[in-house]
Amino acid sequence: MGNVSQQQPYPWPVASATGVGSWPGEDPDEAMRTVLGELPDLPHLPELPERGAGADMVGRTAGLLVDLPVEVRPTGWRVADTPGRDLVRAGGFLSYDLDALTDHAHTYEGPLKIQVAGPWTMAASMELRNGQRMVSDLGACRDLAQSHLEGVLAHLADVRTRAPGARLIVQVDEPSLPAVLVGSLPTASGYGLLPAVDRVRVEAALHDLFSALTEADAVPAAHCCAPSVPVDLLRRSGARAIGLDAHLIDRAHDEMLGTAAEDGVGFMFGVVPSVEGPEMSDPARNVDPVRELWNRLGLGPDLLSHAVVTTPACGLAGASPRHARAALKAVRDGARVLRDEPRG
């Protein structure tokens, strides 16, 4: 791989750490205060899905959709005729979160990350009126992508009024993207699989979203903690940062990641478990997969702590509060290791 300039304008300070998005508990005030205290260089707007439907990743983003009402059904979120109480509840949860942001970050100056579910994960997760996934209907996918784009931009403008000194990074969560691309999503009956969506169509929708975010002076980022992340597609679509689980990276990803790094794309690498389990008290061991990757790519060690942000492997909603705090300390310690001992 060729050399990449250390002066690349990454949207975060050197040796930054952040969270993926979700957080345990139901108190947005406490969550926002904790995140700002534990992640001072790159805080994020916490998501609290334990509060129930409407605070979950899909419901939270469904509440942003423009002229596309949805409701909760036993099988999940489904397109509805008119807005109802489920959307009111989702909007209320988000409003509480933004009020907490206003209270604790109205004077904050620096990068701030917010998260939304991406258009393909929404299409894979939401249902048409007939109960089939939206992704099965390409016309519905087009309508969803447009509604989603308008809603995300409105959300971005709202966040800016709450934290006017923040430089916004918009993380588009696409955990279902690999399944959409390979056609592994089950049909409504569960007996078949939906066909894969053409990669050109997938890329076009993401490109429209990322371009609009860039024009709105935000940094478009993409996150996918599933295996087989389509790094090339996300880079071509315009993502300027890509988040993935460092422990799921293998040599098959090397060329794609190297090309992205040479193009100035930053990375948010998950280096510690998002739930209780494996020991994470050794910061150097936690970031070894990242250092090994960097060595394989032949990229300059001085670039590592500029280009890479350390994160938990995925959201922390399923963790205990004790583990969640320990995970944030572990990613902060890991970021310092990447700065001070990049070669391992």
Q: Does residue 320 register a pLDDT over 90?
A: yes
Helices (H), 106-198: 119-125, 138-162, 177-182
| Domains in the chain: boundaries | 28-340
Structure confidence by residue, pLDDT tens digits, 218-251: 999 999 988 899 999 999 999 999 999 999 998 9
Lowest-pLDDT range of 68-77, 96-105, 270-279, 308-317 = 270-279
CA–CA gap between residue 20 and residue 196 (Å, rounded): 27
Contact 72, 88 (CB under 8 A): no
**Residue type at 195 in one-letter notation:** P
How far apart CA 244 and CA 327 sit, in angstroms, is 16
Is the distance from CB of 71 to CB of 78 less than 8 angstroms? yes
* Residues in Cβ contact with 33 at an 8 Å cutoff, skipping those fewer than 6 apart: 100, 104
Structure confidence at residue 1 as a pLDDT band (50, 70, 90): low
3-state secondary structure of 42: coil
CATH 3.20.20.210 fits 28-340, yes or no: yes
Q: Which residue shows structure tokens 């990449």? A: 4
What is the average pLDDT value for the chain, to the nearest integer? 95
Q: What is the pTM of this model?
A: 0.96
Tens of pLDDT, residue by residue over 284-307, are 999 999 999 999 999 999 999 999
Coil/strand/helix, residue 46: coil
Q: To the nearest whole percent, how much of the chain has pLDDT over 70?
A: 98
Strand partners, 253: none
Tens of pLDDT, residues 181-216: 999 999 988 899 999 999 999 999 999 999 999 999
Tell me the C-alpha distance between 39 and 170, whole Å.
17
